[in-house]
Structure 1
Amino acid sequence: MSRAQLARGLGDGASRRGCPDAPSRALGASPLGPTSGAGPVLGLAVGLLADRVVGDPRRAHPVAAFGAVATAVEHRLWRDARSAGALHVVLLVGAPAAASHLVGRWLERRAAAASLTWLAAALAIALGARSLEEEGRAVGDALAAGDLASARARLPALCGRDPAPLDAAGLAAAAAESVAENTADAVAGPLVWAAIGGPAGVVAHRAANTLDAMVGHRSARYQRFGQPAARLDDALGWLPARMTTSAFIAIAPLFGGSPAVAARVVRRDAARHPSPNAGPCEAAMAGALDVRLGGEVRYPGVARVQQRGPLGDGRAPGAEDVRRAVALSRAAGLVIAVLTGVVLAARDRARHGGGP
């Protein structure tokens, strides 16, 4: 995964599944770090707005800084053993999440607005909706213009696949699949974990997802060391992926699809994907857009070709389908954001005695 992908939270996640490259107490205080009693929904809104307006900085992104720290820690801890990988995860996921929890509690005792800002800042850093849409549209626009060279040049910002052997349909499929997977990782994940664990939940999910992208793949170096990161990312990504899948299915009619067809494709085809979380998302997108995804996948510098089963029964995707995938992703993100707001508001009311 490139530094740009790392900073934006984009890429082929769930890499342990063959890719060499990404209920808490619902109405009570979260054990991972409470949000502000002054209005966590406002913190959610500010975080979403910051991602939408500002996006991800090209330089000095906190996630890129985390990646640099993670690399340094890996160099000190690495052994060809799962126990070393587990310590790596505890330090790089547990420590930031615990620190976020403690800072959030300290801010909450002093100023409601400061605590609210802490949630907004965590979301602004972790969310990648704007970057995902921009990169997806860039590939779609290049394909629409018949400029395969530009489409190949832009694809690595979305995923780690080798774009060189891909034709127009292959580029469109790779882009659509990456948009589907990254909707769960870079949009739904931060939102769902904000609802579950507040800022600490957001930080834990983002750190685990980043570590999986860095070490969670089946190479000689990371076969054992990277397994704890991959397993944790699978666990933390399970609910966001299912919410993304459900959102794709529910809003399929807005994009000319059928919820029944999309759900059938998920039931039948999701297990054909090596990732337990990306599979349902990509299958749901294939069904909702009536396109056929999956198939052969190549990665730069890797001789082995990964053969994935087909997802969906529709036509081969094209430029317009990439644009539709981006629009579907944005709509699904809006649905999940609204649900997150409902959960945060309910928790806020419960913590303050159920008053208005």
Structure 2
Amino acid sequence: MTDLSSTGSLQIRDVSKLFGAFRAVNGVNLDIQKGEFLTLLGPSGSGKTTLLMMIAGFLDITEGDIALDGSSIAGVPAEKRNFGMVFQGYALFPHMSVRENIGYALSVRKRPPEEITRRVDEMLELVQLEDFADRKPGQLSGGQQQRVALARALCFAPPVLLLDEPLGALDKKLRVEVQEQLKDIHKRVGTTFIYVTHDQEEALSMSDRIVIMRDGAIEQVGTPRDLYERPATKFSASFLGKSNFIRKGEKTFALRPEKIDLRREQGGKDARSSGIIQSITYFGSMQRIIVDTHDGDEIEVDIDVWRNQEALSEGAPVDLLWQDEAAVELTDS
């Protein structure tokens, strides 16, 4: 029998999921390291949640295998995989206190009362909810409820924690706060986190590695910096952040808007392109400027307001400049 008191590394080999003739996940291969914060990122229908549900054991694998520390768990029921799970909807018991909710998994496992008390106290401290232990979920904010759900999922020390769009119900400001808390908690507990989201900023700010998924397959895998600085395909470049696409001969290059310098048109030899400002949008610390180039392209430029005090206006002629290394050649040119 598979030993589930494991270290938390996962091996995904040629995994596919078919619903009739439709391949929701198609031939995924992925190694997830112990203690890693790995994010599955992609648009709706990309297969990220389906893959997570197969890892959890809630969906059967049609083809391939998933192993925990080298031992297959494909035939192990979800409840015996010993994985923690956090959903967007919290799924807290409304009639139970915060303390009772957090300790529930240990209670059903018939752990000794003193162990439950000790472990729940540790979790309350971890998620900074010591003063809310006796409250019911309905007396908490959305962010507090999500932290209770997280504490409950971690209370029994699972080797892997699976998180399916857990912050989707929170407003933007609260979402950012909980992201920071979640990242800190991951560092402190050392559990393997597998996180599903369609939010680019969330993936960039929290992950050790990101798996970009598209149409059931992996498009690209890497650290947030690698994927942002060196996207391999048009899809990666456009889905993770914004990119301009520039053609040179038969090759296509991705160029991030913030890596372009802009100055009033001087016809300088160092200018890569020139054109007319079509629109200017002010975002406080940054301005987004759309330029119609004389080559017929539309290029987006993001400039820091504090470093560019020169008054710019729609209809003004401008030069565009960038370094050679700023333009990244794509494989699907």
**TM score, norm. by length of structure 1:** 0.24
Richer in helix (by share): 1
User: Which one has the bigger strand percentage?
Assistant: 2
TM-score by length of 2: 0.25
Higher RCO (Cα < 8 Å, 6 or more apart)? 1
